[in-house]
Amino acid sequence: MKKIGVFGGTFDPIHNGHLILADELGKRLALDLVILMPTFVPPHKIKPDLASAVDRVAMCRLACEPYERMTVSEWEVNRRGVSFTVLTLEALQGRYPDAQLYLFVGADMFLTLGTWYRFADIAKMAVLCTVPRDDVTMEQLQAYAAQLEEQGARCRVENIQTPRISSTDIRARAAAGESITQWVPPAVEQYIAQHEVYTAHKHYRNVYEQYIDIIRGRLTPKRFRHSLAVADKARELAQRYGADAEKAYTAGLLHDILKDTAGDSQLQILQDFDILLDDVEKNSPKLWHARAGAVFIEHILGIHDEDILNAVRYHTTGRAGMSLLEMILYLADFTSADRDYPDVDVLRELTDRDLLKAMEYAAAYTIEDLQASGLTVHPDTTACYDDILERLERE
C-alpha cells in the first residue's frame, strides 16, 4: 500500500522549518510521497496580509525541488473558498484509493483537532501526525493523542526537532528589504525579492473577506445569509448609537460561527478549553453555540477583544450589565433583515429609536416565548431583563 503524507498550510512563505518537518516525517514514517497543500483561505486562522495563492504556490514549488519525495498540489487553491481538511482528504482518497494518508499537523493545531469540521471523518481517513515545538511538549501531544485515539483516531507523535521560525518575522524582514537567507531556501528568497511579495499589498485580502469565507464554509446557506444580515444591522446600530462599527460588524459575522456544528463538537471545544456549562446550559443545546463560538473565535481565530467575545458569548441569553456592543449584537440578531417572526417590525422600530426600551421588549419576548414553550429560562436572561428595567428607571 502506498503511504502518502499531506501537509497543508498557508505557507506564507514556506520556510526551512516546514521543509525539515516534511522531510523528517517522510523519512520517519517511510512515506512514498509528501504532498504540500497551500490553502486558499485557512479555516482556523485569520491573516490580514495573506499573500496571493499564486505566489505561495510558486514559492512551495521552488522550495520542493531538491526533495525527491515532495510535491505541491493546487487542489485547495483551485477549489477556492475556505480550505477544510476533510474535503481535501476526500479528494485525495478519490485520487489515491489504495493509499494510506498521513496528515501532518503543527503542534498547536494538533491540540485543537477535536474541534475541526467533521473530525470523525478526518480520523477515519488519515493517520494524524505531529511533532513537538518549544511551547508544546511531547507529553502534551501524547496526552491529547490518547484522547483522540479513544475517539477512534490513529496518531503518530514523533520526537523530531525543528527550528522555531516565524513567518511573521520573515514577512516583516522581507518588507524592510532585510536578508532572510537563514530561514528560507535561496530560490524562495530570490522569488520574494523579484516579485515584491511582501511589499506589494495589492494582493492582500481584507480580513472581513476571510471571515466571510470561513463562515460560508461552516454554515448552511440560510444561516450564512442570516450572519451577513446581522453583521449589516450591527454595523448600522453601532453607527447610530456611537459604538465601534468594525467591532460590531465582526461580532455580527461571527456570532453564529458554530451554530451548524454538531452538538458533540461544540461540547468538545468547550471541554478542550476547560469551559464548564451550568445546569441550565447542559440541558439546553440551543445555548451551546454561543459559548463554544466565543471560545472558538478567541482560541482558534485569535480574536482577543473582550467586548467582541462577550457579545458573541451572550448574544442568545443576554446578561446583567451588558455593554453597548453586547446590546447591539443582541438586538441585531433579533431585527436583522432576514427575520420575519411576529412583532419583528415593532422591535425594529424600538431598536432604531431607543436601545434600552428595545432590550426590555426583546428580553421580555424571549422569556415569554420560552415559558410558553415549556422551556427553562436561563438565569442570565432573567438578570438581563431585571437589569434593563433598573437602568430604565434610573434614566
The residue type found at 108 is: D
Phi, psi dihedrals of residue 378, rounded to the nearest 5°: -65, 140
Q: Are residues 196 and 236 both part of a single domain?
A: no
Cα 74 to Cα 319: distance, rounded to the nearest angstrom? 47
Q: Report the pLDDT value the prediction gives residue 333, as an integer from 0 to 100.
A: 97
Closest CA to 331 of 395, 288, 266, 384: 384
Please report, for the domain that includes residue 190, its CATH number.
3.40.50.620
Percent of the chain with pLDDT over 90: 69
Compute the average pLDDT of residues 361-365.
95
97: cis peptide before it, omega within 30°?
no
Q: How many residues does the chain have?
A: 395
Domain holding 171, by residue range, is 3-203
Q: Which three cell numbers stand for residue 372?
A: 410558553
Within 10 Å of residue 109's Cβ, how many Cβ atoms?
18
Q: How many structural domains does the chain have? A: 2
Last residue of a domain, one of 169, 203, 237: 203
Within 10 Å of residue 64's Cβ, how many Cβ atoms?
21
Q: How sure is the predictor about 275, in pLDDT bands with cuts at 50, 70 and 90?
A: confident
Closest CA to 323 of 382, 238, 226: 238
Please report, for the domain that includes residue 342, its CATH number.
1.10.3210.10
Helix axes 221-241, 207-218, angle to 10 degrees: 140
Q: How sure is the predictor about 378, in pLDDT bands with cuts at 50, 70 and 90?
A: very high
Cα 46 to Cα 211: distance, rounded to the nearest angstrom? 7
Q: Worst-scoring range by mean pLDDT, 118-127, 150-159, 201-210?
A: 201-210
DSSP 286: G
Last residue of a domain, one of 177, 203, 229: 203
Q: Are residues 125 and 216 both part of a single domain?
A: no
Q: Indicate the SS3 state at residue 133.
A: strand
Q: Are residues 107 and 38 both part of a single domain?
A: yes
Q: Report the pLDDT value the prediction gives residue 81, as an integer from 0 to 100.
A: 62
Q: Are residues 193 and 101 both part of a single domain?
A: yes
Asked if residue 277 has pLDDT above 50, the reply is: yes
Cα 117 to Cα 71: distance, rounded to the nearest angstrom? 26
Q: Are residues 244 and 346 both part of a single domain?
A: yes
Q: Are residues 238 and 224 both part of a single domain?
A: yes
Cα 357 to Cα 6: distance, rounded to the nearest angstrom? 55
Q: Is the dihedral of CA 267, 271, 272, 273 positive or negative?
A: positive
Q: Are residues 112 and 136 both part of a single domain?
A: yes
Q: How sure is the predictor about 203, in pLDDT bands with cuts at 50, 70 and 90?
A: very low
142 or 81: which leads in pLDDT: 142
Q: Are residues 70 and 142 both part of a single domain?
A: yes
Q: Report the pLDDT value the prediction gives residue 210, as an integer from 0 to 100.
A: 78
Q: Report the pLDDT value the prediction gives residue 206, as an integer from 0 to 100.
A: 66
Q: Are residues 272 and 257 both part of a single domain?
A: yes
- Residue 272 · residue 115 · CB < 8 Å: yes
382 or 208: which leads in pLDDT: 382
Cα 82 to Cα 280: distance, rounded to the nearest angstrom? 34
Q: How sure is the predictor about 47, in pLDDT bands with cuts at 50, 70 and 90?
A: low
Q: Report the pLDDT value the prediction gives residue 164, as an integer from 0 to 100.
A: 86
Q: Are residues 216 and 363 both part of a single domain?
A: yes
Compute the average pLDDT of residues 318-323.
97
Q: Are residues 247 and 288 both part of a single domain?
A: yes
Q: Are residues 219 and 364 both part of a single domain?
A: yes
Last residue of a domain, one of 166, 186, 203: 203
